[in-house]
Amino acid sequence: MDLQKLFLVITVTAVISLVCYPSSVTAGDIVHDDNLAPKKPGCENDFVLVKVQTWVDGVEDAEFVGVGARFGTTIVSKEKNANQIRLTLSNPLDCCSAPKHKLDGDVIMVHRGHCKFTTKANNAQTAGASALLIINNQKELYKMVCEPDETDLDIHIPAVMLPQDAGSSLEKMLLTNSSVSVQLYSPKRPLVDIAEVFLWLMAVGTILCASYWSAWSAREAAIEQDKLLKDAVDEIPNEKAVGFSTVVDINTTSAVLFVVIASCFLVILYKLMSYWFIELLVVLFCIGGVEGLQTCLVALLSRWFKHAGESYIKVPFFGALSYLTLAVAPFCIAFAVVWAVYRTVSFAWIGQDILGIALIITVLQIVHVPNLKVGTVLLGCAFLYDIFWVFVSKKVFHESVMIVVARGDRSGEDGIPMLLKIPRMFDPWGGYSIIGFGDILLPGLLIAFSLRYDWLATKSLLSGYFPWAMFAYGLGLLVTYVALNLMDGHGQPALLYIVPFTLGTFLTLGKKRGDLRVLWTQGKPETPCPHVRLHHREELD
């Protein structure tokens, strides 16, 4: 393997070991029901995000997002059913005692203070308020719950918590304008968003392209090796002397080590999550993305610029590079740099997806699963890894480590870069549908193996394993999104559904067709070597 491809594999190994992230919805998720928070009659609302639209002197102004309380009346879901109501600042500001002035159905805004939330709500309700806005003393939202021993829960007005910066803006509006009114509503997220359909097509299409490229390269290599063996059978002592492979085969040991190393990296990310750490991940992602994009473009353009693709020049550190590679490299580097600089803009997801898809396709071209045994160990370990860090880690760390890392919590950034993402198009809360590279790459290794086997065994489309493996992956990912929506947007480990579908289908078909032993151990059809065929022919003569 040349130095450039070795560098790519090392970079990608460091990056991919961090990215078996769950398919999820981020940036504006509905605040989910928290089973740890106490519930009782009068204090049993689900936590929902609430839009607070403002009007200043009758002109529509800024919109803020808060979270509804466990207590009080529920907030209407449709904007047309929400009334514009005048906003008033509480006096005293914390509303821990009764307001000094009676309110004529106004929305009262109060500071968090030190008394119970229900105390504020009861005081506001007694004063005639129609709703309560509580300003948190921090930038984050806070779930307002009831104390276990509380009994005064006959609250008939909605209560909403707003972050500190939103409260500061509202206070400024009240102090500098004659009239400020607000509208409170909590729109529901649609059951299915078209973004999930496109993300599904993107994941399936990536594996499809990578598998065909991998199988085509494997078949070309086999044909070339067969020709060399036929032409030089007397000069070559054994078939291991033939060929120069640019492929990295995974073994069972490295498959198990992957889970161990990935878990260590995940914990490091979780503990050290910060702005500078995200910047480091961006650099790693850009390096891998540049290599991946360059490899894909060179392979594609070499069909039209064959001479440039086959003419080489020696470059220090990188070794021999084709002229086509040198011509494409500046564009790839510029593309990655522009994405890194402007990655926070609304359309930056396009560049991220292009770099990510190119990286995944390139890795599936270079890294191979040699047989079904290694594929089973790899996907089995990844299956357990995904479940543990999404669900079981909550028991140890009091939150899902993988989801926290995927969202980029405590980093000041909107998630880490090693994800494919598409903005949700019909979601009133916005955000993205995402899928981790690992949820495409790891099953993709097995699916690409199935197509390589089909081509080497000259199997037809119906008798092969690839169509069934591809169908099983697509169905598994589809079930992931169904589960995601049924769970009200809670992040789901995609491999929990994809691995049983994909691996189970492969093992079942292999057993039924009698190919399981060959698939499990050799990973390629049993064909005699050319020199054996020649020797056999000479004996017959």
Strands of 419-423's sheet, edge to edge? Answer: 24-26, 432-436, 419-423
Task: Give, in order, the Cα–Cα distances in Å from 217 to each of 223, 320, 335.
Answer: 10, 20, 27
Of the residues 29, 427, 439, 454, only one is catalytic, namely 439
Could you give the 3-state DSSP secondary structure of residue 65?
Answer: strand
One-letter amino acid for residue 415 of the chain: G
- Asked if residue 312 lies in contact with residue 320, where contact means CB atoms within 8 angstroms, the answer is yes
Find the DSSP H helices in 409-494. 438-456, 466-486
- Asked if residue 285 lies in contact with residue 351, where contact means CB atoms within 8 angstroms, the answer is no
The conformation of residue 189, written as its DSSP 8-state character, comes to P
Angle between helices 194-231 and 530-540 (to 10 degrees): 40
Residue 439 known to be catalytic: yes
Q: How far apart are CA 331 and CA 64, in angstroms?
A: 41
Sign of the Cα torsion 19, 23, 25, 30 reads negative
Q: How far apart are CA 292 and CA 473, in angstroms?
A: 23
Dihedral angle, C-alpha 530, 531, 533, 536, nearest 10 °? 180
Q: How far apart are CA 128 and CA 105, in angstroms?
A: 6
- Asked if residue 322 lies in contact with residue 311, where contact means CB atoms within 8 angstroms, the answer is yes
Of the residues 29, 106, 353, 386, only one is catalytic, namely 386
> What is the Cα gyration radius of the chain?
29
- Asked if residue 40 lies in contact with residue 153, where contact means CB atoms within 8 angstroms, the answer is yes
Instruction: Kindly report the backbone phi and psi dihedral angles of residue 459, in degrees, each rounded to the nearest multiple of 5, phi listed first.
Output: -85, 145
Residues 6+ apart with CB under 8 A from 349: 421, 422, 423, 432
**Closest residue by Cα to residue 440 from 455, 419, 424, 468:** 419
Question: Which tokens hold the place of 40?
Answer: 């009782």
- Asked if residue 72 lies in contact with residue 159, where contact means CB atoms within 8 angstroms, the answer is yes
How many CB atoms are located within 10 Å of the residue 496 CB?
20
* String of DSSP letters for 206-256: HHHHHHHHHHHHHHHHHHHHHHHHHHTTTT-SSGGGS-----EE--HHHHH
Which residues are catalytically annotated? Answer: 386, 439
